[in-house]
């Protein structure tokens, strides 16, 4: 399956026109100028498949599932197929020493040029013993693979920010890619799982311009993560009007009112779900009636409960009883001291005479 991408696509029944349209859409999603769509199409049509090594660490395969499992073949899926995926444990046919050999070969052949995709977090506890492949710890493999990579793409919240493995109490000492790799450009594509088009968008950008897209302060492509779910949510007008669903089956829920009070994390979550949607634009969590979990944000698992409103504290009265007791005790203590002092002053009162008016 060598040769330009456009040929492969043609074989799959994707016309040039469809591909062009797709590139234009992709360009607009990434907030690139309209001309970029054509440039992207041309570049991608002609490009030879770059070598990609995909390293899975502490992960659930959800990210891979998200990208590969679609009801019908999508262009995202196909573009993904079209890269030279030289190592992907879940997808590759090879196993055991063969697989490791393939990885070593690809790294040698494309040294300094291959893209490294990582999903899953990296455990550091017990010298990395919590997750090993072929007898080597994840952290070892990552360091080695990152050494020859042109760039690293951290796919999913685990690779980007540590994700669920890193959730309190983080038994494996999980860390994100960015804690290990310091000398390569890293793109974080968080989400649990991430949106497929974001991955292809980043790949397309890299293939077209030979560089990574502009990132925000959390290493995410600004074009997809620049706005919050809340900003673009179709239920936003209800928030502004103060119309909230109070339970999942009340009148407000049926009318599609805002899910803020039911714990929606939309206001603090940066992602493209509200505009791109899922499953080929079918729907997305809020549209299906459930608040956003905030899965593309660091530490979303420890964000104070999925069903607690953002303005609602986790457990504010935790110390209330103890504090009240201590406060009352201090008050009573001072009160006794004060009364003793005042009574003493009264008891030692010396009757004033006119002589006491002058010094």
Partner 1 sequence: MSASLEKGIHALKEVIDAPIASYFESCVHCGLCAEACLFHTETGDPKYTPIHKVEPLRRVYEREYTLLGRLKKMIGLSKPVTDAELDEWQELVYDSCTLCGRCSLVCPVGNDIVYMVRKLREGMAVSGHAPAGIRSATKNTVESGGPMGLKWPAVANVLRKAEESTGLRIPVDQEGAEYMVLLSSMEIVNYPEYIDALAKIFHKAGISFTLSSEAYEATNAGIQIGSSDLAKVIVSRIVDAAEKLKVKNVLSPECGHAYMAIRWEGPNLVGRPFKFNVVHVLELLDDLRLKGVLTMRDKLKDPLILHDPCQIVRRGGVLQAPEPLIRQVAENYIPIADKQKLNWCCGGGGGASAIHTEAAEALRATAFRIKKRQIEEAGVGTMVTFCANCRITIEEGFDHYEMNTKLLGLTELLAAHLEA
Partner 2 sequence: MTDLQFLTWTRGPGLDLAVAVFLLGVLWRLIEIYTLGRKKDLAAPRHAPGASGLHTVFRRSLPPPGMLKRSPVSYIGGYVFHIGLAIIVFLGAPHVLLIKNLVGVSWPTLPSQFIGLTAVVTMAAMVLMLADRINKPVKRFLSTFEDWFTWAVTFLPVLTGWMATQHLLLPYTQMLALHILSAEILLVVLPFSKLFHGFTLFGSRWYNGRVNAHKGVPV
| Sites of contact with partner 2 (CB under 8 A) | 161, 218, 228, 230-231, 239-242, 244, 260-261, 267-268, 270, 294, 297-300, 302-304, 308-320, 322-324, 326-328, 330-332, 334-335, 338-339, 342
Q: How many residues does the chain have?
A: 359
Helix orientation angle between 75-82 and 16-29, rounded to the nearest 10 degrees: 100
Q: Does 346 bind partner 1 (CB under 8 A)?
A: yes
The CA–CA distances, whole Å, from 93 to 65, 85, 87, 214, 348 equal 17, 11, 10, 35, 98
Instruction: Give the three-class secondary structure for 14.
Output: coil
Q: Does 349 bind partner 1 (CB under 8 A)?
A: yes
356: partner contacted, choices partner 2, partner 1, none (Cβ within 5-8 A by kind): partner 1
Q: Does 341 bind partner 1 (CB under 8 A)?
A: yes
Q: Does 330 bind partner 1 (CB under 8 A)?
A: yes
**Secondary-structure percent of the chain, ordered helix, strand, coil, rounded to 5:** 45, 10, 40
Q: How far is the CB of 60 from partner 1 (least distance, A)?
A: 55
Sign of the CA dihedral with 12 first, then 87, 142, and 58 last: positive
314: partner contacted, choices partner 1, partner 2, none (Cβ within 5-8 A by kind): partner 2
CA dihedral 184, 134, 55, 90 (to 10 degrees): 170
211: partner contacted, choices partner 1, partner 2, none (Cβ within 5-8 A by kind): none
Instruction: Find all residues with CB under 8 Å of 269, minimum gap 6, and list them.
Output: 228, 229, 230, 292, 294, 295, 296, 297, 300
| β-pairing verdict for 84-88 and 51-56 | parallel
317: partner contacted, choices partner 1, partner 2, none (Cβ within 5-8 A by kind): partner 2
Residue 312 or 330: the one with the smaller Cβ distance to partner 1 is: 330
Residue 183 or 358: the one with the smaller Cβ distance to partner 1 is: 358
2: partner contacted, choices partner 2, partner 1, none (Cβ within 5-8 A by kind): none
Q: How far is the CB of 351 from partner 1 (least distance, A)?
A: 5
Q: Does 338 bind partner 1 (CB under 8 A)?
A: yes
Q: Concatenated DSSP letters for 290-304?
A: -----TTSTTGGGSS
309: partner contacted, choices partner 1, partner 2, none (Cβ within 5-8 A by kind): partner 2
Residue 234 or 319: the one with the smaller Cβ distance to partner 2 is: 319
Which of residues 105, 334, 336, 340 is near partner 1 by CB under 8 A? 334
Strand partners, 118: 55, 154
d(CA 270, CA 280) in angstroms, rounded, equals 20
CA angle, 311 then 312 then 314, to 5°: 130
Residue 317 or 352: the one with the smaller Cβ distance to partner 1 is: 352
Part in contact with partner 1 (CB under 8 A); list of ranges 24-32, 147-155, 164-172, 344-352: 344-352
Residue 319 or 336: the one with the smaller Cβ distance to partner 1 is: 336
Residues binding partner 1 (CB under 8 A): 330, 334, 337-338, 341-342, 345-346, 348-359
């Amino acid at each position: 399956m060598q040769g330009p991408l456009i040929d492969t696509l043609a074989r799959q029944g994707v016309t040039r026109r469809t591909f062009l349209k797709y590139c234009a859409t992709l360009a607009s999603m990434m907030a690139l100028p309209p001309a970029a769509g054509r440039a992207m199409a041309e570049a991608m049509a002609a490009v030879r498949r770059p070598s990609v090594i995909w390293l899975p660490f502490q992960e659930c395969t959800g990210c891979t599932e998200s990208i590969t499992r679609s009801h019908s073949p999508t262009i995202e899926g196909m573009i993904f197929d079209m890269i030279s995926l030289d190592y992907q444990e879940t997808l590759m046919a090879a196993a055991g020493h063969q697989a490791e050999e393939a990885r070593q070969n690809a790294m040698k052949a494309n040294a300094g040029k291959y893209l490294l995709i990582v999903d899953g977090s990296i455990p550091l506890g017990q010298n990395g013993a919590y997750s090993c492949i072929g007898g080597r710890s994840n952290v070892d493999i990552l360091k080695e693979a990152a050494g020859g990579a042109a760039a690293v793409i951290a796919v999913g919240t685990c690779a980007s920010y540590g994700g669920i493995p890193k959730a309190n109490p983080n038994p494996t000492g999980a860390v994100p890619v960015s804690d290990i790799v310091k000398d390569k450009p890293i793109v974080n594509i968080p989400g649990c799982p991430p949106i497929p088009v974001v991955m292809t968008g980043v790949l397309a950008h890299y293939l077209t311009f030979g560089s990574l897209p502009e990132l925000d302060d959390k290493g995410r492509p600004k074009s997809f993560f620049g706005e919050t779910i809340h900003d673009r949510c179709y239920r936003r007008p209800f928030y502004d009007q103060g119309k909230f669903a109070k339970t999942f089956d009340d009148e407000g829920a049926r009318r599609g009112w805002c899910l803020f009070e039911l714990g929606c994390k939309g206001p603090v979550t940066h992602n493209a779900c509200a505009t791109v949607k899922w499953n080929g634009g079918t729907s997305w969590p809020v549209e299906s009636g459930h608040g956003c979990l905030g899965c593309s944000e660091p530490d979303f698992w420890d964000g104070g409960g999925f069903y607690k409103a953002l303005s609602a504290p986790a457990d504010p009265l935790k110390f209330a009883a103890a504090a009240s007791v201590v406060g009352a005790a201090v008050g009573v203590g001072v009160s006794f001291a004060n009364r003793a002092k005042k009574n003493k002053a009264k008891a030692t009162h010396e009757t004033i005479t006119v002589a006491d008016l002058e010094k």
